[in-house]
Amino acid sequence: MLYFKPDTCYREITLFNIAGKKVFEHRVNGHSCTISLEVPSGIYIARITGGNKKQVRKIVVLQ
């Protein structure tokens, strides 16, 4: 599960596996704060964008 502060204005979250393949994409409508992920355990790169903001983070998923 991913959590975002409700006061941020991010609108799209994309996850890539370690090989660079897109495995998850979610467009946020309104002030969504949590997103359930159904991906296998592993290391992922998250690209989080919205407006003129962009962040890239490494995420470790443990199931």
Q: What is the mean pLDDT of each run of 10 residues along the chain (63 residues)?
A: 59 92 85 74 91 88 86
Domains of the chain are: 2-61 (2.60.40)
Q: What is the reported pLDDT for 49?
A: 86
Q: What is the reported pLDDT for 4?
A: 60
Distance CA 26, CA 37 (A): 10
Q: What is the reported pLDDT for 19?
A: 96
At a CB cut-off of 8 Å and minimum separation 6, what does 34 contact? 1, 2, 3, 4
Helix, strand, coil percentages (3-state) for the chain, rounded to 5, are 0, 55, 45
- Cα distances (Å, whole numbers) of residue 4 to 15, 19, 21: 15, 25, 23
Q: pTM (2 decimals)?
A: 0.74
Q: What is the reported pLDDT for 1?
A: 61
CA proximity to 17, closest of 9, 25, 8: 25
Q: What is the reported pLDDT for 27?
A: 82
